[in-house]
Structure 1
């Protein structure tokens, strides 16, 4: 990942040397601030590597374990609703799959992406000890995301004609359209959830979010079964419970954040939340574009399935695979959250060696987890499809797609971690350009070529799109390898000063 034996600059300042930052894409003459206090020493041997790997792993998993659990729980809300919908009917399963993946997935990507600006700002401010601005950042993000939710509301209202416009069948579009209107409250829950989550995440308050998510998941599972199957409310019951589950999580997090548990990070509502909004919007949009392009990539896979022969069966099979992929990727998203906190905190504190080594530990850990998950899935390929559907044709396709799903899990367990490094360092705009090129200029056309022109069907479409993910992962790896972490520490100091905090070197 990086040449860890390469010595980093140890003096506190190295004046007027040209540096390069992936964030700016240009050379500048800047002072580089590096603090030796609490930064790891240079690694010159295998013993040094294993010692520091153990130390950093404990720090990483202290954050990652509860973050993984929280991510899996929150993702499971929609996945469990989809699982019960498969027991209602094939159309119900397709409707929930399309609404979750396309309509809610679109909004989720926008909201999560825009909220992720706080990973950079709050994380680096916390590392630099500038706690007072963190609450202001969260309030600014609330203002922006609630405004964005208003703009996105028509997408939910007119989802049925929109789905028909992009080629979905009339029956699936109508069912998904009705469900989308019922799910509008979830959209506004997203707008409040992601800023408060990133605010707490930057302070390593992961355990509190895990407890909230666990309680909500237990309640969600029970009441989804009760309303959808036992009381036979069908999709209406699923929508009611899914909305309530998200609002339970949001209210609980806000109460926790505002109750005094965050100390100086929350000092009350402030008019500063409405200052410098445009600059905040630009950073939020860069974050949104970066993450949306990743999230929507596999949404496109399900949409393409709607154009294949026997669309209902193809969509159901792919939605099950993408559902499982989403569950496993939530583990890497947890590590993503942890590495984003580690990188942003360490850069904010001017510890570039520690930030760089954190990246190495996170990538290795995520790769090992991906290999284990893929192996489990392949071993159980004859059994797990029964959990999702009673349709034998769908189960057969899922079984045949399992080796491809396993490979995809391995790749997609590493890729979000590298994206988390980009968020922690503030490279959102650069990563967004990489995503556009790799996913939509390369992966999507290749998938369409293999799936339709070569007539390889679902397997060909998925293979082509995996090619885009492999290319994107390779480029992000190259970016991380060539990064000057001393420079990134200096850029973090400038960013903190720009957004309202005093210089950490003053």
Structure 2
């Protein structure tokens, strides 16, 4: 990226017009340059799970329930931790980029790999012993046993999350957003095609659906790695460095702090599905709740795009020493996010009764999804506020612990 482009995206040091409408417009343009690619990336990345669920839902209701239980409870639990911890990469790299300390970005990326891979390895036994865990917490035996067909398939996806999210945030912090968006969109298209080929044409069933998920997800990591290591980030990636093993404590502290702020947003949905497993007709309840939860989470990916924008814009401005601009950026991004939330809230109220048909042909599941559509719509509306405020919390945290960048 040339200096002129960088200056346009970060904002010039020279003050422009003071008119509020002009400032909002300029800030919105800067935010959307980050938000749109981040949205596209997150929607397509999570969309691979939604597509997999849709194909499995047309295999059998029991398989749909088992997939939902594994994905929503175990994977969501792990994903909540990893998403939060990976946001530390975004914050640290964004501030380093704003301060023009480009060499530190590659080191922060490597430190994040060390922390996140360690955490993923600690959580891996959850998938290895998934059936025993589900039986222990009182889920129905047939669903718990069926979950064994999915749990081990999720291990490659667990490590995909580590490398995909950290590489994505590394690139996003230096405003290389479109490459992430195109790679994510391409992997999503590949996943749809492979799922159709493996499940519908070749009739491979669950192995076909989960194999398609593994291949398409890791194709994105490979693409991001080729871009970073292949010389397209000469300022920020200078190869592996032993410095990644030093001063790692600040990264751990920020990762843990970020993790707790964001993972609770994802965990409470898992609790809802866990409780659904104790209801009468647990298979129907789990399938129905999981459909609503995945739609809600898919919409949350839009809002996490605004979270990415708030983190990057705040970190960039804080790196330049402009705290007032960081606060103004958060206000503008929040208004944009709420506007999108209102639009989607209305759409969900209008079309909520037809959502279930996308995932299953079971009329009982479809009826229950329809009955939950109003609650789903209001949950979608509230999603538009919380992620941006997380960005504000990160700003306040960093404002008080600015020494992290320099340790």
* Residue number among 254, 257, 272 corresponding to 2:228 in the alignment: 257
Q: Which residue number in structure 1 is paired with residue 406 of structure 2? A: 497
Q: Quick one: structure 1 residues 389 and 270, their matched pair in 2 at CA, closer, same or farther if it must change by over 3 Å?
A: same
Greater RCO, CA 8 A, separation 6+: 2
Q: Which residue number in structure 2 is paired with residue 310 of structure 1? A: 281
Q: Which residue number in structure 2 is paired with residue 119 of structure 1? A: 90
| In structure 2, distance between residues paired with 1:166 and 1:118 | 34
C-alpha deviation, 1:357, in angstroms: 1.0
Superimposed CA distance per residue, residues 11-54 of structure 1 (whole angstroms, 9 cap, x where no aligned partner): xxxxxxxxxxxxxxxxxxxxxxxx9934678x7xxxx3222111
Superimposed CA distance per residue, residues 320-361 of structure 1 (whole angstroms, 9 cap, x where no aligned partner): 111111111111111111111001111111112211111111
Scaled by the length of structure 1, the TM-score of the pair is: 0.75
| In structure 2, distance between residues paired with 1:148 and 1:219 | 29
Q: Which residue number in structure 1 is paired with residue 197 of structure 2? A: 226
Matched, 1:37 2:13: yes
Scaled by the length of structure 2, the TM-score of the pair is: 0.93
The structure whose Rg is larger is 1
Tell me, yes or no, if the aligned pair for 2:85 and 2:256 is still in contact at 8 Å. Answer: yes
C-alpha deviation, 1:190, in angstroms: 1.8
Matched, 1:319 2:307: no
* Residue number among 345, 350, 365 corresponding to 2:336 in the alignment: 365
**Quick check: 186-195 or 397-406, which moved more?**
186-195
* Residue number among 68, 71, 86 corresponding to 2:42 in the alignment: 71
Matched, 1:132 2:103: yes
| In structure 1, distance between residues paired with 2:272 and 2:296 | 13
Tell me, yes or no, if the aligned pair for 2:43 and 2:301 is still in contact at 8 Å. Answer: yes
| In structure 2, distance between residues paired with 1:224 and 1:322 | 22
Tell me, yes or no, if the aligned pair for 1:336 and 1:421 is still in contact at 8 Å. Answer: no
C-alpha deviation, 1:306, in angstroms: 0.8
* Residue number among 139, 147, 150 corresponding to 2:121 in the alignment: 150
C-alpha deviation, 1:261, in angstroms: 1.6
C-alpha deviation, 1:411, in angstroms: 0.4
* Residue number among 133, 148, 168 corresponding to 2:139 in the alignment: 168
Tell me, yes or no, if the aligned pair for 2:38 and 2:305 is still in contact at 8 Å. Answer: yes
Matched, 1:288 2:264: no
Q: Aligned pair count?
A: 397
* Residue number among 195, 199, 220 corresponding to 2:166 in the alignment: 195
Matched, 1:87 2:58: yes
Q: Which residue number in structure 2 is paired with residue 348 of structure 1? A: 319
State the SS of the aligned residue for 1:289. Answer: helix
Tell me, yes or no, if the aligned pair for 2:353 and 2:369 is still in contact at 8 Å. Answer: no
Superimposed CA distance per residue, residues 102-135 of structure 1 (whole angstroms, 9 cap, x where no aligned partner): 1221221222222111122111111111111110
State the SS of the aligned residue for 2:164. Answer: helix
C-alpha deviation, 1:171, in angstroms: 1.1
| In structure 2, distance between residues paired with 1:222 and 1:389 | 19
Superimposed CA distance per residue, residues 233-286 of structure 1 (whole angstroms, 9 cap, x where no aligned partner): 221111111111221111111111122222211111110011122332222222
Q: Which residue number in structure 2 is paired with residue 275 of structure 1? A: 246
Unaligned stretches of 5+ residues in structure 2 = 1-10
* Residue number among 373, 377, 395 corresponding to 1:406 in the alignment: 377
C-alpha deviation, 1:376, in angstroms: 1.1
State the SS of the aligned residue for 2:208. Answer: helix
Unaligned stretches of 5+ residues in structure 1 = 1-34, 428-487, 499-506
Tell me, yes or no, if the aligned pair for 1:79 and 1:323 is still in contact at 8 Å. Answer: yes
Q: Which residue number in structure 2 is paired with residue 456 of structure 1? A: none
| In structure 2, distance between residues paired with 1:66 and 1:76 | 15
Q: Quick one: structure 1 residues 169 and 127, their matched pair in 2 at CA, closer, same or farther if it must change by over 3 Å?
A: same
| In structure 2, distance between residues paired with 1:371 and 1:36 | 33
Superimposed CA distance per residue, residues 360-387 of structure 1 (whole angstroms, 9 cap, x where no aligned partner): 1111111110111111121112323211
Q: Which residue number in structure 2 is paired with residue 422 of structure 1? A: 393
